[in-house]
Every structure is written in C-alpha cells, then in structure tokens.
Amino acid sequence: MKIAMVGSGYVGLVSGACFADFGHDVVCIDKDEGKIARLREGIMPIYEPGLEALVESNAKAGRLSFTTSLAEGIEGASAIFIAVGTPSRRGDGHADLTFVYEVAREVGQNLAGDAVVVTKSTVPVGTGDEVERIIGDTGTGHRFAVVSNPEFLREGAAIGDFKRPDRIVIGAEDEFGREVMREVYRPLFLNESPILFTSRRTSELIKYAANAFLATKITFINEMADLCEKVGANVQDVARGIGMDNRIGPKFLNAGPGYGGSCFPKDTLALLKTAEDYDSPTRIVEAVVKTNDSRKRAMGRKVLDALGGAEAARGKKAALLGLTFKPNTDDMRDSPSIAIAQTLADAGVAIAAYDPEGMDQARPLMPGVEMCEDPYAAIANADAVVIVTEWDAFRALDLARMKDLAKAPVLIDLRNIYSPDDVRAAGFSYASVGRA
Ligand code: UDX
C-alpha cells in the first residue's frame, strides 16, 4: 500500500518511517527543501532514539522516500496523512490550523485517484469537517474520505509507542475510510493492538482528553508533593500507595518540576479554547494549566531557598543538569528549565548548564547561561547543583568528585532520582520534591 505523509516533522517522520518498516511504501513530504535534502542524506531534523537507523534501512530498502512536491508525493497513495504543525495561535491559545487547511486544499487540487485523507496532527474538534469541506470545494472528481487518527507518541520512546501502541484510535464517518485505515494498520492487527473506531469528532476529542488527563495526573501528584513537604510525608510512597489501586494506575505519578514539551502545554490550552467556544467550561483543566505554570517558577525559588534565600543567592552560581523538558529528546519547548533559569537570573545567580542533547536549542532561550561540555564542568565552583531533567547520565554522578569540584555541597534533585540517605551520607545538603 502506498502512504503519503505530508509534514516531515516529529510525528510525520516517526510515523512514516514506522509504516515503511511495516512494509508499506511511504513518501514523506515537506516544503522545507533543506530538511528534505538532509533527510535524503540520512540526516535527521530531530533527535529520537532509533530513528536514524530506521530511516536509513527503509530508505535503502526502497520503501521510504522524501520529496518537496506534494503532487508527486501523493500520486497513487491510498492514504494521505496530514502531519503538519498546529502551534498555539499567538494571543489566544487556539490551535493554529493554517498549515492543516493549506495542505487540505493542495491535496484536493492534486488528487489523482481515490484516497483517504487522515489528520494525524492534533486538531480541535470539527477540523475534520472543515478539511472535508475544503477538499470538496476544490472540485476533485475523486472519491475521498477524511479520517481522524491521533498520535500518542512520547518523545524519546516514539518508535516503541508507534509499533506497540496501547490503542489505535480511528475516527471515520464512512466504510471507505474505515476499510483503508484497517489496511494501513493491518500489520498491527497481528500484534493484537486494539483499534478503536469512533466518530471523527469523538476521535479528535480523545486526543485532547488523553493529554489533559495525563497533565492532570502529573499536576495532582505535584500538588501532593508540596503537601508532603509540609506534612512530612513521602510523595514517592504516596504515588506507589495510590498507584497500586488499579483504578488509578502507577504511571504518570512522578512528581517533578512540572510538565513541558510540545504537547501537554499546547493541547491543554487548545482544549480550554474549545470548551470556551462551546460554553462548556473545563474547570479542572483550567486549574491544571495555572498550577503547572506557576510551579515552574516555584522550582526556581526552591533553588534560591537552597542558596540561602533570594538575598544571599545574588552573585552565587548554580549548575543546571538537564535542560530539555524530559530525557532522550533535544526538545526545549516549555521546558521547566527555562523558567527556572529565568528566576535564578532575575535573582542575580550565575548559571552554568549541561544537557546531553538540548544545549543547541537551549542557547537562544537562555542567553547568559554558560553551556558546558560535561556535567562536571558545569558543577565546578557551583554553590548548588540542580538536577532538572532525569537523563540516565545523571543517575550515577560521582558524588565525591562533585563535592571536590563544587564550592558548596548542595544538591537539589527536582526529579527525585537520588536517595536522600546516600546523598547526605556523601556530605551534601539535599533537597528533592515531596520528600521530607
Ligand atoms: C505526551 C504524551 O505522553 C503523548 O501520548 C502525546 O501524544 C504527546 O504528549 P511527550 O510530551 O513526549 O508525550 O512526553 P511525556 O513523556 O508524556 O511527558 C510530558 C511531560 O510530563 C514531561 O515534561 C515530563 O517530565 C512530565 N512528566 C511525565 C512528569 O512530570 N511526571 C510524570 O510522571 C510523567
């Protein structure tokens, strides 16, 4: 089966490479000539474990190719995926659908046969209806159906998530759409991955509801962490204690500096907009967005406290370990590190930082922060070391060496990856999240 993937960003590229790996014939399309030229040479636009090898082997096998021409790319494709960006619109938080609609128009104008058009980009409820209208208005004589098929890929684990999904959600309004999508995902039927067919609007909402629920779960445990600190309890044990209840489940209960990334912040805002448009308030999500926003700065203040308070902190130096919003990605979008660095800089604290993959993206976002070539270079002469992102490389730092290098043995572990006893035994003053 031939599949066209319009948009070769994170979602398009991972999905395209995985479909090709299943044996489909995939063309990835993107307007960015430089990106396509680099992809043809095997150079990835993003960091994602396993992606480069997957692209290389499927391109070599002739199942995966790249083009800037949409007309050429969609020719003969039974399924045409729209996987372009839907950033937050400046000013109001609505998802910006300009790119999605542009692609829909161009697809309609260039259809050369019957095809199913699939929105994989995260789009507000009703977008599929509009895409259908736009394609219909181009006067194409070919049969088409518009289907919603949201992605649930976690950065850093995207290939595994694609190949072994918890579920595949397909929102289709007619049998033609369902039939083509069954064929697209047939390789996963054999894996027994559950496929949920719903209406198109329901499928569009499932994506937002899933992300808003996960963001709520994280924010809930973060608030419990604050309470744990006050009452002298341990948030990790609280998470275990509630997570063992099957109705709650153990995942997404790690307390930390707040969620960031390309999805949760943007999708929760877009959901609030939809709720507002339809006059159906989602107060819980409103509270989650506000609570998470203020948490990031609060984490900066936590570091200031460990430096002796805002006054005493002026002129001191903090080392930030990890800058990306989570490990195994180079993505800095809405990373808590940005607000933390800003809070520290505002208080006159000098900052040195190290991140295994994110420093290039971080540099323009945190001017004045010294980017170092390894964690120990950042730690040298620091008055406090802050673990912001739980990269594996920070899980077994040489505490004795750190103590020698740092000006003061102060460790603030915003991801709770160390045992308080071990760190204190190594002579550090230690603060973490939600552990007395
Ligand atoms: C998320 C969804 O998981 C994925 O299904 C969706 O399609 C895209 O958005 P992603 O943004 O890549 O994926 O990262 P995820 O692993 O979900 O983490 C998001 C944020 O939540 C990170 O900042 C992470 O550090 C934070 N988080 C996650 C916690 O603070 N605690 C947790 O227990 C889990």
CA of 154 to the centre of ligand 1 (A): 7
**Contacts of the segment 407-411: beta carbons below 8 A, 24+ positions apart:** 407/317, 407/381, 407/382, 407/383, 408/382, 408/383, 408/384, 410/306, 410/307, 410/383, 410/384, 410/385, 411/384, 411/385, 411/386, 411/387
CA distance 411 to 334: 24
Q: What is the CATH number of domain 208-289?
A: 1.10.1040.10
Instruction: Kindly write down the DSSP assignment for every residue of 360-374, as one continuous string.
Output: HHHGGGSTTPEE-SS
Closest ligand 1 atom, residue 325 Cα: 23
Q: In the chain, what is the straight-line distance between the N-terminal and C-terminal CA atoms, in Å?
A: 57
Percent of the chain that is helix, strand, coil (3-state, to 5): 45, 15, 40
Residue 354 has a pLDDT of 98
With a 6 Å cutoff on the Cβ, whether 325 touches ligand 1 is yes
| Catalytic residue set | 263
Residue 82, φ and ψ in degrees, nearest 5: -100, 115
**Residue 436 pLDDT level (bands cut at 50, 70, 90):** confident
CATH class of segment(s) 294-431: alpha beta
Q: What pLDDT, in 10s, does the model give residues 193-204?
A: 899 999 999 999
At 215-241, the pLDDT tens digits run: 999 999 999 999 999 999 999 999 999
Longest dimension (CA), the chain: 75
> Of all atoms in ligand 1, which is nearest to the CA of residue 415?
30
pLDDT > 90? residue 94: no
Model pLDDT for residues 235-265, shown as the tens digit of each residue: 999 999 999 999 999 999 999 999 999 899 9
What residues contact residue 317 under an 8 Å CB cut-off, 6+ apart?
A: 349, 350, 351, 352, 381, 382, 383, 384, 407
Helix (H) or strand (E) holding 202: helix 200-231
pLDDT score for 6: 98
Q: What is the CATH number of domain 2-198?
A: 3.40.50.720
pLDDT bin (cut points 50, 70, 90) of residue 92 is confident
Sign of CA dihedral 22, 177, 86, 292: negative
The pLDDT, as a whole number, for residue 89 is: 82
The answer to whether 327 and 390 have CB atoms below 8 angstroms apart is: yes
| 217 pocket-lining for ligand 1 (C-beta < 6 Å) | no
Model confidence pLDDT, tens digit, residues 4-18: 999 999 999 999 999
For ligand 1, is residue 264 a contact (CB within 6 Å)? yes
Handedness of CA 310, 314, 316, 317 (dihedral sign): positive
Triad 355, 152, 217: Cα angle to 5°: 75
d(CA 277, CA 253): 31
Angle at 22 between CA 66 and CA 109, to 5 degrees: 45
Concatenate the DSSP letters of all residues of 308-332 into one string.
TSHHHHTT-EEEEE--SSSSS----
pLDDT at 95 over 90: no
- pLDDT at 87 (0 to 100): 86
Res 190 pLDDT > 80: no
**pLDDT tens across 133-143, in order?**
999 999 999 99
The best mutation among 122, 263, 299 to test binding of ligand 1, ranked by most ligand atoms within 8 Å of the C-beta, falls on 263
Residue 13 contacts residue 89 (beta carbons within 8 Å): no
Atom of ligand 1 nearest to the CA of 222: 30
Contact between residue 375 and residue 321 where contact means Cβ atoms under 8 Å apart:
yes
Cβ(7) to ligand 1 under 6 A? no
Query: 391-396 contacts: CB < 8 A, separation 24 or more?
Result: 391/321, 391/322, 391/327, 391/328, 391/355, 391/356, 392/327, 393/356, 394/321, 394/322
- Cα of 260 to ligand 1 centre, how many Å? 7
Taking CA atoms, 300 is separated from 69, 164, 349, in Å, by 47, 37, 11
Q: H/E element holding 4?
A: strand 2-6
Distances (CA, A) of 331 to 32, 202, 255, 357: 19, 29, 20, 9
Spatial CB neighbours of 291, under 8 Å, sequence gap ≥ 6: 219, 222, 223
The domains spanning 2-198 and 294-431 adopt the same CATH topology: yes
Ligand 1 centroid–CA 417 distance in Å is 17
In this prediction, residue 90 carries a pLDDT of: 76
Identify the band that residue 289 occupies on the pLDDT scale cut at 50, 70 and 90: very high
Contacts of 346 (CB under 8 A, 6+ apart): none
- Single-letter code of the amino acid located at 140: T
| pLDDT exceeds 90 at position 19 | yes
Distance CA 368, CA 286 (A): 33
Cβ atoms 413, 320 nearer than 8 A: no
Domain ranges in the chain are: 2-198, 208-289, 294-431
Predicted confidence (pLDDT) per residue in 101-110, tens digit: 999 999 999 9
| Candidate of 121, 153, 154 to mutate for ligand 1, largest count of ligand atoms within 8 Å of Cβ | 154
Q: What's the full length of the chain, in residues? A: 436
Angle at the Cα of 161 (from 82 to 74), degrees rounded to 5?
Answer: 25
Q: Is the separation of the CB atoms in 312 and 274 below 8 Å?
A: no
Q: Can you give the pLDDT at residue 192?
A: 82
* Long-range contact set of residues 291-295: C-beta below 8 Å, sequence gap at least 24: 291/219, 291/222, 291/223, 292/215, 292/218, 292/219, 292/222, 292/258, 292/259, 292/265, 293/258, 295/219, 295/222, 295/257, 295/258, 295/336
Q: How confident is the model at residue 191 (pLDDT cuts 50, 70, 90)?
A: confident
Distance of CA 259 from the midpoint of ligand 1 (Å): 7
> Could you tell me if 351 and 341 are in contact, meaning their C-beta atoms sit under 8 angstroms apart?
yes
pLDDT value of position 417 = 97
pLDDT in tens, 294-340: 999 999 999 999 999 999 999 999 999 999 999 999 999 999 999 99
Query: What percent of the chain has a predicted confidence (pLDDT) above 90?
Result: 95
The mean-pLDDT minimum among 188-202, 203-217, 258-272, 367-381 falls in: 188-202
Average pLDDT, the chain: 96
Please give the pLDDT value at position 349. Answer: 98
Q: Indicate whether residue 150 lines ligand 1 (CB < 6 A).
A: no
Ligand 1: nearest atom to the Cα of 210: 5
